[in-house]
Structure 1
Amino acid sequence: MKDEYGIRRTGFIIFWVYMVLLFCVQGASAARIKDLAAIKGIRSNQLSGYGLVVGLNGTGDKDKVSFTRQALANMMEKMNIYVDQSALKVKNVAAAMVTASIPPFARIGDNIDITVSSLGDAKSLKGGILLLTPLKGVDGQVYALAQGPVTLAIPAGTGDRDSHLLVARGINGASIEREIPFKLDGKKNLVLSLFRPDFTTARRMSDTINSALGQDIAKTVDASAIHLKVPETMWKKNVAEFIADIERLSVIPDTIAKVVINEKTGTVVIGSDVTISSVAIAHGDLAVTINQEDGTEKKEKVMNLPGTSTIGELVRGLNSLGVEPRDLISILQSIKAAGALQAEIEII
């Protein structure tokens, strides 16, 4: 029992030492601006369309799904085949909603991935073929055409109940037929939008851009936006190069002190900027072992942590108590309630 506890405690200490080193390395690392922000207005757009998946091995919609029969009858009429809708059997056909995301600056003929989701009561889309499906944007215009085989992610075969059989993917399953117009050349002003709004990070970005490309190019608007003034020599036909020059610049992003807790799994992630004020900790039967000068050992139930303790001091102190992740959750929440933890606690 003692050996098992020692192994578990040693593994816990190694895990936290690794996390401390990881945070220390990441805390001082810089990131490219393209990984922290994007030009406002340059984004992907969502497309969707109604389609039919055929060729299913009896796993399609039941006959009571009227819209599948109706869609199949309409498709056959376009091929000059007139049938009685009520006489159609659709067990090998499934109605589906097809969705896709068209990236910015996509050109005619480019291929994009699609997601095919069952709309009726089909059992599985395995082995199906999606018939030609127009994909429309919110403006009602057709921007892509989807067609072809769809595949499922089934790690253990069709008998695996953990697999989801009613959603399939089509890799490069749609081709772009209409481009979304977005003209860069001629723009004299741009807005750089941060993925994670932060005043300090935004200021650092502005300073970095101005230092690298010249003063008065970037101006911090708020925590999430930086106004960019395109130089006169570039706004007529070199705006793309101007954006590329900005994206490759590196900035050290600032982060708030945060502790993220997942109570379901017992996972605790502590940011490198987390500090605590003076506090004494006692938790259950856990005790600190202190080696005295005469060679004897003394066990204390309470551990004192000095003010402005860093993450490393906190981890070392809690490790001395033999604290495991689930105990650590309770301790951190108690320290926060006592007002001694200078960090935000987020429970997911």
Structure 2
Amino acid sequence: MQRNLPWMLAALFAALTVYLAPVHAHAERVRDLGQFQGVRSNQLTGYGIVVGLPGTGDDNLEYLTQAMKGVSGRMGLTLPAGVAPGLKNAAAVMVTADLPAFAKPGQRIDVTVSTIGKAKSLRGGALIITPLYGADGQIYAMAQGNLAVGGLGISANDGSKLTVNIPTVGRIAEGASVERAVATGFDSQQTLRWNLFAADFLTASRVRDAINQRMPGTASVEDGVTLALTLPIESNTRASVMAAIEMIEIQPAETPARVIVNSRTGTVVINSAVRLAPAAISHGKLTVRVDEDPMVVQPAPFSRGQTAIEPNSDISAEEESRAVALFQPGASLSQVVDALNLLGVTPSDLVAILEALKQAGALKAEMVVI
């Protein structure tokens, strides 16, 4: 037993060392912190017509009527001049899609179809072939197909209506065929740029150091967002290097201290970087109550008086007594939450307290109101 004692003590010391070692924040992959410039999706938009609706279309909407005449003309059918066709089975729609990076002609992408007029529902409709344009005005895809609509709209003769979800928006899975590829510069530029999702000089410097440690002389910082990467021009080697860079793990910088206040919903979010200087908070609630109990006054019998209402008001004020919360220097997020819960504050009161702490110089954080 005594011979094994040193080994047992050594094992116990090693276990305590591991247990008591400081816990570092989780490392992030480079691909989760940013992306290569040009390797992104592009938005496409088009104007089209959905037909085959069971009387839930746009009726005689002027721009829909003109579009239908144009479609009929392409099919070799001439509509009578001066006659507006009944179009309750058709609807004018906007078609949108995202063109992925490196999408090639012939590949299929999903499209979303939304009404722009008075159509009640797109359920059961089919989209007529529609060109999809990019920001440069060029056609990048052609869309057509039957819509899948998750919403439902029902109306009765007495005017009552029932709507479930959104029946005026539909989707066509793989409803568009790519006709043109977008140039990304992946195979033509000697220097590629990698951009952070959020600007941070410390994180950019750590990404540069991690890349140069594995591939010396590859990365340099241009600003708080962008790194310039000198990569081999040959496509096969470049792709392998980019894949390796994306899988490098680094320790990102701590986010700036922020308090986010949603003025519409009353939601308050405080991140873990928020710290407080020494401060004491006392939050009281004053309630003023006014009770009105008017009395009806009757005149004496056989008198010429009139019945009247005599006001009778009762005013009372009550102020709740609350404890005082004291924050020590460098109070953390958990201490702030515990103290504010002790005071029993509502979201609106919390915003007022945080604003007062900011004015007093005790709140070391940026307040963002959205």
TM-score band by shorter chain is: 0.7 to 0.9
Aligned residue for 2:308?
Answer: none
The TM-score, its normalising length taken from structure 2, stands at 0.76
Q: Which amino acid aligns with 1:185?
A: D
Partners of 1:59 and 1:215 lie apart in 2 by 64
Partners of 2:162 and 2:276 lie apart in 1 by 48
Q: Select which of 304, 318, 334 maps to 2:326.
A: 304
Q: Is the 8 A contact 1:58 1:92 kept in 2?
A: yes
Q: Is the 8 A contact 1:263 1:326 kept in 2?
A: no
Q: Which amino acid aligns with 1:152?
A: V
Q: Select which of 77, 84, 92 maps to 1:81.
A: 77
Partners of 2:351 and 2:136 lie apart in 1 by 49
Q: Is the 8 A contact 1:187 1:236 kept in 2?
A: no
Q: Which amino acid aligns with 2:96?
A: T
Aligned residue for 1:19?
Answer: none
Q: 2:64 aligned with 1:68, yes or no? A: yes
Q: Is the 8 A contact 1:113 1:174 kept in 2?
A: yes
Partners of 1:263 and 1:309 lie apart in 2 by 26
Larger Rg: 2
Q: When the two structures are aligned, how many residues end up with a matched partner? A: 306
Partners of 1:141 and 1:266 lie apart in 2 by 44
Q: 2:251 aligned with 1:277, yes or no? A: no
Aligned residue for 1:179?
Answer: 181
Tell me whether 317-326 or 196-205 shows the greater mean CA deviation.
317-326
Aligned residue for 1:135?
Answer: 132
Partners of 2:59 and 2:153 lie apart in 1 by 23
SS in 2 for 1:74: helix
TM-aligned CA deviation for residue 46 of structure 1 = 2.0
Q: Select which of 108, 113, 116 maps to 2:110.
A: 113
Aligned residue for 1:261?
Answer: 261
Aligned residue for 2:194?
Answer: 192
> Structure 1 316/132 Cα, relative in aligned 2: closer, same or farther at 3 Å?
same
Tell me whether 82-91 or 215-224 shows the greater mean CA deviation.
82-91
Q: Which amino acid aligns with 1:329?
A: V
Q: Is the 8 A contact 2:139 2:180 kept in 1?
A: yes
Q: Which amino acid aligns with 2:121?
A: S
> RCO greater where, 1 or 2, for CA within 8 Å and sep 6 or more?
1
Q: 2:353 aligned with 1:331, yes or no? A: yes
TM-aligned CA deviation for residue 338 of structure 1 = 1.0
Alignment of 1:177-256 (within 5 A): 177-211=179-213, 213-230=214-231, 234-237=232-235, 238-254=237-253, 255-256=255-256
The TM-score, its normalising length taken from structure 1, stands at 0.80
- Gaps (5+ residues) in structure 2? 1-22, 155-160, 287-320
TM-aligned CA deviation for residue 220 of structure 1 = 1.3
- Gaps (5+ residues) in structure 1? 1-24, 287-298
Q: 2:25 aligned with 1:28, yes or no? A: yes
Aligned residue for 2:122?
Answer: 125
SS in 1 for 2:193: strand
Percentage of matched positions with identical amino acids: 42
The structure in which a higher percent of residues are strand is: 2
